Amino acid sequence: MRLTPDAHDPEPPPFLGTWGRVYTVVLVWLAVLIALLYAFTRYFA
Amino acid sequence: MSTLDWVIMVFTMLAIPGYGLWRSRGTSTVNDYLLAGKTMPWYAMGLSIMATQASAVTFIATTGQSFVDGMRFVQFYFGLPIAMVILAATAVPIFHRSGVYTAYEYLEKRFDAKTRALASVVFLLQRGLAVGVSLYAPAIVMSVIFGWNDRLTTLVIGIICVIYTTKGGIPAVTWTDVVQMTVIFAGLILGLFTVISLLPADLGFGGAVYLAGAVGKLNAVDLKLDWNNRYNLWSGLLGGTFLALGYFGCDQSQVQRYLTGKSVAQSRLGLIFNAVAKVPMQFFILFVGAMVFVFYLFTPPPMLFQRDAMNTISKRPEYSQTQKQFDTAWEHRKQAALALGIARKADDSSQVNAAVSHYREAEKEVTAARLAGVRLYEKAEGKPGFNDTNYVFLTFVTKFFPVGVVGLVIAVIFTAAMSSSSGELNALATVTVIDIYRRHFRPDASDRHYLFASRVFTALWGAWAVVFAQYAKNLGSLVEAVNMVGSYFYPVLLGVFVLAFFFRNVRGSAAFWGMVTGEAAVVLCALFTNIAFLWYNVIGTIVVVLSGVFLSQFENRPVQSPPEPALQA
């Protein structure tokens, strides 16, 4: 039942080309969400 | 509940595990049973990660919290996407390439056996105590609202959960989670549309949002840095990141989800899915709670949402006066809300400002009247700390939702309880078999033996969860204490994994004593400071890392080589 360690997995993401770009888009998405939620808070306060 | 509600609820609760069991057919090795043969696609892992985190309390309590406290709880999740990115870039490739079943197995490869054992025991203690509460929490709410027997309810959902988890292992758990999350999403969307359809016709959706905002229910982001304020942007971003790193990176119930991925890329995508979807999902749940608040601006709510508590205070001599005060205050607020709606349509800023001011005063009047009811109950019971937040949403659902939808919402609550519990049972069995049984008692048995042991330990942990849940009611504040103490362990686990991944010179004993020192720091913070609990994650992790690095200066043993190649994003 010992597992064989996976070989180095160079598989790129299915979009945006590199994982670095995917991570950047996720962090930008978070920044946009926070900005929208802040605007939402201010607008309806 | 009507017959149709019962049919929908029972069908949903049985059909989903049935589907999971069907998808798990052919499970014949430990690798299949504990890691799904590493064949899972990203969307199944992503939904399973989400389902394991989202317990029944998420849906019951979060909507109620928004009703009472507004939407600021959403900030708690701001750190999650950051944590997901960090884990996708670091932990996922390391765990995959190490060829491990558990996160703690990696710690022995990197440090030593005692560090692995300490981390495993910390996990088993924390998760083993929490798993019963996951089953018990929805049962107690149902018992108060429907008058169902809470022990029987716990037993039924516990048995269904234990059967499919024991029989099908992680493939059954994951595929069940996929359908459960789909039903949960459908239930939430249906719930929001139903709430909106129940609002007064002349108010409109825009008017409802406007009113919720006017009394501060849409307070999603607070920029003010306050160390004692549990939810603000900074505690969410920093404390939330550390908490999510601890939970998703070091808790086997989550690590095991993404270890089932067919490749590093698929596991990463599962985490990225959560990074993108989690904050909007929580916003959505909280928004439903805010809309329930607006609904009760125009429809009289009970003074207390817990039926037993209302029965208790109704026997007190002060009750009629208190209820009259509440009814008057509610009527004032209703008139103020209507006036605000008219002023908003007139688009006259001075008229709007005056109406908002009046409306806020009326809201304070209602809050004070409700508080009088709470005090009356606390006086009758002779104990402080009454909280009926968990009863707000289900009271609303059972009274106002159409036939059929009620059954679906109740099924959503129960499936959420089962999905989080099944993930926990599966992880508890895995750590027990891999990190304790195989490591310390039977290191060289056959695959068939370990498969059998995995099933036995899953059933045993399931039995423990059901029995613990049966007695949880009698434990009272201990349950709360268990949950609270459980959250104190993540910084220690996170700290030791940070040492493992990023500090190559740190050795086994230094890591072990770093964990002990970090736990002591967290306990001291909890006992002697007022610092909000999210910050414990930051403080505890930093103490573990600094202690580990410092103590490593005094160790002479050679450093064990990390078993994985250099990290690549």
Task: Inform me whether the pLDDT recorded for B566 exceeds 60.
Answer: no
**Minimal CA–CA distance to B251: which of B500, B495, B461, B427?**
B427
> B152 CB contacts (<8 Å, ≥6 apart)?
none
Contact list, B81 vs chain A (CB under 8 Å): 26-27, 29-30
Residues 6+ apart with CB under 8 A from B367: none
Select from A1, A14, A38 the Cβ nearest to the Cβ of B31. Answer: A1
CA gap B317, B328 in Å, rounded: 19
What is the per-residue pLDDT for B156?
87
Contact B495, B548 (CB under 8 A): yes
> Token pair of B326, please?
């509440």
pLDDT of residue B568: 35
Q: Which residue of B has its CA nearest to A26?
A: B276
Q: Test B213 with A37 for CB contact under 8 angstroms.
A: no
Find the range with the poorest average confidence among B11-20, B277-286, B465-474.
B465-474
Give the CA radius of gyration of chain A: 19
**Does B563 contact A29 at a Cβ distance shorter than 8 Å?**
no
pLDDT, tens only, B528-542: 887 777 778 888 999
User: Whose CA is closest to B360, among B340, B377, B346?
Assistant: B340
Beta-carbon count within 10 A of A9 CB: 17
Cβ(B86)–Cβ(B94) below 8 Å: no
- B298 has pLDDT over 70: yes
Residue with tokens 């992680």: B170
Residue B488 contacts residue B522 (beta carbons within 8 Å): yes
Find the mean pLDDT for residues B335-348: 83
Asked whether the beta carbons of B486 and B126 are under 8 A apart, the reply is: yes
**Count of C-beta atoms within a 10 Å radius of residue B440:** 10
Q: Is the pLDDT of residue B276 over 90?
A: yes
Q: What pLDDT was estimated at residue B474?
A: 61
Q: Residue B54: name the closest of B187, B230, B232 by CA.
A: B187
pLDDT of B84 higher than 60: yes
Q: What is the pLDDT of residues B200-223, one digit of tens each?
A: 877 788 888 888 888 888 888 888
| Distance separating alpha carbons of residues B350 and B361, to the nearest angstrom | 17
Helix (H) or strand (E) holding B33, with range, is helix B30-35
**Rounded distance, CA B313 to CA B479, Å?**
26
**Chain B residues close to A2, C-beta within 8 Å:** 99
Confidence of residue B559 (pLDDT cuts 50, 70, 90): low
**pLDDT over 70 at A3, yes or no:** no
| Average confidence (pLDDT) over B358-363 | 88
Chain A residues bordering chain B (beta-carbon distance below 8 Å)? 1-9, 11-14, 18-20, 22-23, 26-27, 29-30, 33-34, 37-38, 40-41, 43-45
Q: How far is CA B28 from CA B31, B118, B139, B167, B386, in A?
A: 8, 31, 35, 11, 50
d(CA A37, CA B300): 30
How many Å apart are CA B253 and CA B145, to the nearest integer? 31
Closest residue to A9, CB basis, from B209, B221, B265: B265
Rounded to two decimals, the ipTM of the complex is 0.87
CA distances from A9 to B44, B91, B93, B97, B260 (A): 20, 14, 8, 8, 15
Q: What is the pLDDT of residue B279?
A: 94
- Is residue A2 over pLDDT 60? no
Q: What is the pLDDT of residue B560?
A: 56
What backbone phi and psi angles, to 5 degrees, belong to B40? -75, 135
